[in-house]
Amino acid sequence: MRLLKFYKTAVGKKVVVAITGVVLILFLIAHMGGNLKVFAGPGVIDEYAMHLRTLLEPIFGWGGVLWIMRAVLLVCVLAHIVTVALLIYQNKRARPQKYHRHDLQASTLAARLMKFSGAVILVFIVLHILQFTTGTVQPAPVLFHEEDGHMMADVYLNLYAAFSMWWVSALYIFVMACICIHLYHGGWSFLQTFGADNQDRNKAFRVWAWVLSLGLFIGFSSVPFCFWTGILPPPTISGVEHAPASSTEGH
């Protein structure tokens, strides 16, 4: 197959890394937009979470669209990680001897931290799913209510409970910094992969990558920071119950 032959080349792998990276960036932007609804109050973000679960419900069932999105994202994450690993292996085979001298000035800090930030992000994705999706790992009791015969986690309540703990907020903000670093170099590399960079546009592209990564960092980090510092008010708990972690589904 032509696609398989293309994928076996270094250029093909870089294209896959770039495309999956773009999909993940778009998801992050959309996810951040949903998270920022918390500033409009508990009712708004809970209504948003409800909307995601009832989207096209007659066709895909309760939460069906969400699971399709998760499946697509999982494929993109796995393809991204595997292809990056294959690229590293391919580059090592092409250059078995290490350089005697590294020119650190030619490499940005973000580029040198790609492996570290990528590993941190991977671990965070797993923990994030276990906390806010499956409810398997919970630093605080999970609160939920019944909605149309389905158990629906109270998003605002659970975010408040989790991010009121300083170490949870600090860990979350640290991971967002790693994502910011990863995206800065990743966004720049994406443009290089498709040959869009040149001396006339390089500065503008670097500014674009910096604005994108910093914007996502501020947007995501603002939620735990504002819960942690008390800027976001505590929720009014009424008509909710404690649920076993395995029976809930977060945002």
What is the overall mean pLDDT for the chain?
Answer: 79
Q: Is 233 inside a domain boundary?
A: yes
Enter the pTM of the model. 0.80
- Residue 157 CB partners (closer than 8 Å, separation 6+): 42, 143, 235, 237, 240
- Determine phi and psi for 153, rounding to 5 degrees: -70, 145
Lowest mean pLDDT across 34-48, 101-115, 124-138, 147-161: 101-115
Q: Is 98 inside a domain boundary?
A: no
Q: Is 103 inside a domain boundary?
A: no
Does 29 have pLDDT greater than 80?
A: yes
Cα-based angle 166, 44, 245 (whole degrees, multiple of 5):
50
**Distance of alpha carbon 52 from alpha carbon 251, whole angstroms:** 9
- Bridge partner residues of 151 (DSSP): 146
Structure-block tokens of residue 213: 């990564």
Domain count of the fold of the chain: 1
The residue with tokens 């949903």 is: 34
- Bridge partner residues of 243 (DSSP): 142
Closest residue by Cα to residue 49 from 69, 35, 61, 64: 35
Stated as kind and residue range, the H or E segment containing 242 is: strand 241-243
Is the pLDDT higher at 98 or at 203?
203
- Residue 173 CB partners (closer than 8 Å, separation 6+): 221, 224, 225
Q: Is 239 inside a domain boundary?
A: yes
Long-range contacts of 188-192 (CB under 8 A, 24+ apart): 189/17, 189/18, 190/18, 190/21, 190/22
Model confidence pLDDT, tens digit, residues 174-193: 999 998 888 887 766 666 66
Q: Is 100 inside a domain boundary?
A: no
DSSP state of 142: E
CATH assignment of the domain containing 170: 1.20.1300
Is the pLDDT higher at 48 or at 150?
48
Q: Is 99 inside a domain boundary?
A: no
C-beta separation of 217 from 177 below 8 A? yes
Structure-block tokens of residue 180: 């910011």
**Distance of alpha carbon 37 from alpha carbon 43, whole angstroms:** 9
End-to-end CA distance of the chain: 40
DSSP state of 105: G
* Structural domain for 199, as ranges: 2-93+109-247
**pLDDT at position 9:** 87
Does 173 have pLDDT greater than 90?
A: yes
Q: Is 102 inside a domain boundary?
A: no
Q: Is 45 inside a domain boundary?
A: yes
